[in-house]
Structure 1
Amino acid sequence: MPREVAAGLVAARIADVSPTFVADEYRVSGVRKVGVVRIAGHDVWIRPKTPVRRLFAMLGYARAGSAIWEDEDFGFAADEDLVPALAHAFERQASRALAGGALRGYVTRDDALPLVRGRWRIGDQLTRRGGQPLPVEVSFDDYVEDIAENQLVLTAAARLLRLPGVPTDVVGRLRRVVRVLDGVTVIPVGVPVPVVRPDRRNARYTAVLPLASLVLLGASIEQRSGSLLGVGFLVDMWSVFEDFVTVALREAFRPYGGELVTQYASTLDVEGTVKIAPDLVWLVDEEVRACIDVKYKVEKHGQYPNADLYQMAAYCRRFGLGEGWLVYAGGSELSGSVQIVEGPKVTRTFMALDVHRAELVVQSERFAARVVRAVCPVLPLR
């Protein structure tokens, strides 16, 4: 590949790239994202090893705690690449949500009008108008289409239209979505995405809003002046895996009581200057009973990083635990335990990503039962 593409992959922290002894040939490793990005005029596609349909199943479960994105009706199975699959699913759900017209809602507006409407803002009238009676500074509720739900859908459609790889037939339907939402405000790049809570009023948008949020989250790469990077859509695979495992384990530990806490903040040294934050700890009566770190890493030459063992051993020493747990993506014959000399036991376990979401949930339940049995053998197991 061209040198500019290699430099762009490194600059965007998409992957580690090192040159070989052959011109324009590079060794790519440590790929952290999947999707597509335009670098120096070239479209770079990064395909996940996990089938796209299962990737979206994990995303949906982690975001909504349900299997909503596994429905055949979403259309994820029809495409092998991430962007076409997402574009198909989003367009289908957006068209359904807008079939009866765009949703309307009340928005509070401040304006200067020739007559009183809503509430008269006397303070602003005096400071801005100098005592003049007209125009009148007022606040009123307007029943409009320019609400957060429509802004999310419109902005996601506009972003998808700029991405490489969106099928031609989907482009035409996305443009119809944009036309239906004419007059709605597009969310600028860099502005926080509004959080919309589902309710009876926006029930018909339930399926499309999570997809819109995903589009805006992954389509954060935009052309910058003087940069090799162009528009793109990328998803962090480590984040997908860790979010899924966190949600699945939280449900799996629920029957055993206590609380599964993410990024549990503590310190390693007496002075409190060395900060630590394990991915997951199981708290029972405010006491750390188990410590779990989730790692989206692939073994190299039959080995996993020793640094993971060092880190977990330090966590166990800090919390007075006899055993710590490392959860890796993928399956391996290397699963097992390492007994630290005069220290804790560190157990590696694996979750195979080439199975259906339901099987991943079952794996989480088995793992939770194993941890509970090791920590509290007197507790009843499912």
Structure 2
Amino acid sequence: MTASTWRRGTAWQPYVAKRRLPSRTGPKVPTPRVELREADQPTLHRMPREVAAGLVAARIADVSPTFVADEYRVSGVRKVGVVRIAEHDVWIRPKTPVRRLFAMLGYARAGSAIWEDEDFGFAADEDLVPALAHAFERQASQALAGGALRGYVTRDDALPLVRGRWRIGDQLTRRGGQPLPVEVSFDDYVEDIAENQLVLTAATRLLRLPGVPADVVGRLRRVVRVLDGVTVIPVGAPAPVVRPDRRNARYSAVLPLASLVLAGASIEQRAGSLVGAGFLVDMWSVFEDFVTAALREAFKPHGGEIVAQYASTLDVEGTVKIAPDLVWLVDGEVRACIDVKYKVEKHGQYPNADVYQIAAYCRRFELDVGYLVYASGEDRVSSLHGTTGLRVHRVKLDLAGSISTLTSEFAAIANRVSTAD
């Protein structure tokens, strides 16, 4: 049986290792590809040992060998995207449709549904990176249609004439009293500003990623040419913070996408080994950020504020630290605790540990009701034993639904929490 065939009764995925031709002439040989899918349950995959080791090193999945050569049991896949490992492109597809994933990412980053389906034109794309490349290129091209944004940047320089402010101290220490050149500080009106740096750096990172469609590559190169002379943010350096205002309004859609590219492409910072360029996002983080942003919006009519990772202690002595995912704070008092959970246990069962955790939070803040929000499962209410009559509401969100449907579900959660007995 060859490596590219399916074996009955198993979850093998097709894998074909193609040899690279030594000749520099002739057609380009495609990079070997390994396909995974976001999942909790173990599945069998064929891949080289180096790829399996890279998946573990990059904390992408749990991998264990079987008794068959180049066969591995893969489980706990929480990241989605694409990454190059040992000269193989490893594609990880999300369970959530790409369109819905994009909408969640946009909501989490901007607090509203800024990335609507019709804005991007990736209807045929099944994978995250091609969709991301299409979306970014389209928004970057629209933002740069009238030319690159310019802004004032303060520069320190030594010039043959006085421009701006004369830095007398630097003149004395660096020039020894010589009149020229003059140490000055001045404001320059240039294109090398934070907004353009983010867009250019994101475009260059995308050009290095496997899986970017050929037609998008050409358009991304045009984006790079338009921003010629702008500084690329070094890998590992913090991205500049850009505050939205009237001046950069036309960049409002592309800047969150650029930040997403830079955050997901941080896989490039891994030192050494077999892991190369890639773009990966943690689904649990996407879900938690999305729920946090959406609930903040849903609770606005009810007053107070939603606080993430609220720091407190479980014991009087203050030694047992706790940090509920979300609390509803009204006049400095915790009125509700909400924990966000991306996964459920096997066979669709909610983990008992989640109930223990939310029950402890409710006991700490003297609450009668606690809330667990899941990405799957089914709605359920549990009444716990004891004199307090504590109830735990487990709420499932339908991630396959539209953003408007999801926001309605969040509004219902906010109403339920605010009117709880």
Counterpart of 1:149 in structure 2 is 195
Partner of 2:66: 20
**2:131 corresponds to:** 85
Paired position in structure 2 for 1:236: 282
Matched, 1:9 2:41: no
Pairwise CA RMSD of aligned residues? 1.6
Query: Which segment is superposed worse, 74-83 or 159-168?
Result: 74-83
Equivalent residue for 2:264, pick from 199, 211, 218: 218
Q: TM-score, normalised by structure 2?
A: 0.85
How many residue pairs get matched? Answer: 374
Instruction: Name the amino acid aligned to 2:281.
Output: V
Q: Over residues 266-309 of structure 1, what are the superposed CA-to-partner deviations in whole Å (9 max), with x where a residue is unaligned?
A: 01122212111101111222221211100111331342222212
| Unaligned runs of at least 5 residues, structure 2 | 1-46
Is the CA contact 1:223–1:229 (under 8 Å) kept in the aligned structure 2?
Answer: no
Structure 2 counterpart of 1:50, one-letter code: T
The correspondence for 1:245, drawn from 264, 268, 291, is 291
Q: 2:412 aligns with which of 355, 366, 369?
A: 366
Query: Given the alignment, which residue of 380, 393, 396 partners 1:350?
Result: 396
Contact 2:378/2:396 (<8 A) preserved? no
For residue 115 of structure 2, give the secondary structure of its aligned residue in structure 1.
Answer: helix
Residue in structure 1 matched with residue 380 of structure 2 by the alignment: 335
Structure 1 CA distance for aligned equivalents of residues 74 and 338 of structure 2: 30
The worse-fitting range, judged by mean Cα deviation, of 178-187 and 362-371 is 362-371
The separation in 2 between residues aligned to 1:24 and 1:341, in whole angstroms, is: 54
In 1, are the aligned partners of 2:111 and 2:297 still within 8 Å (CA)? no
State the distance in 1 between where 2:412 and 2:68 align: 48
Look up the match of 2:164: 118
Q: Percent identity?
A: 84
Distance 1:329 1:307, change over 3 A: same
Give the TM-score of the pair, scaled to structure 1: 0.94
1:339 alignment partner AA? L
The equivalences for 1:121-270 within 5 A come to 121-222=167-268, 224-270=270-316
**Larger deviation, residues 219-228 vs 303-312:** 219-228
Q: Is the 8 A contact 1:281 1:292 kept in 2?
A: yes
Q: Does 193-202 or 229-238 show the bigger shift?
A: 193-202
Q: 1:38 aligns with which of 73, 84, 87?
A: 84
Q: Structure 1 residue 26: deviation in Å?
A: 2.1
How far the C-alpha of 1:63 sits from its partner, in A, is 1.2
Structure 1, unmatched stretches of 5+, are 376-382
Q: Alignment partner of 1:99: what SS? A: coil
Partner letter of residue 97 of structure 2?
A: P
Residue 379 of structure 1 is matched in structure 2 by: none
Map of 2:25 onto structure 1: none
Query: Following the alignment from structure 2 to structure 1, what is the Cα–Cα distance between the partners of residues 365 and 66?
Result: 46
Query: CA shift at 1:220, angstroms?
Result: 0.7
| 2:133 alignment partner, SS class | helix
TM-aligned CA deviation for residue 347 of structure 1: 2.1
Indicate whether 1:309 and 2:358 are aligned.
Answer: no
- Alpha-carbon distance between aligned partners in 2 of 1:300 and 1:318, rounded to the nearest angstrom: 30
Partner SS for 2:420: helix
Q: 2:358, 2:370 within 8 Å by CA — same for their partners in 1? A: yes
Structure 1 SS opposite 2:395:
strand
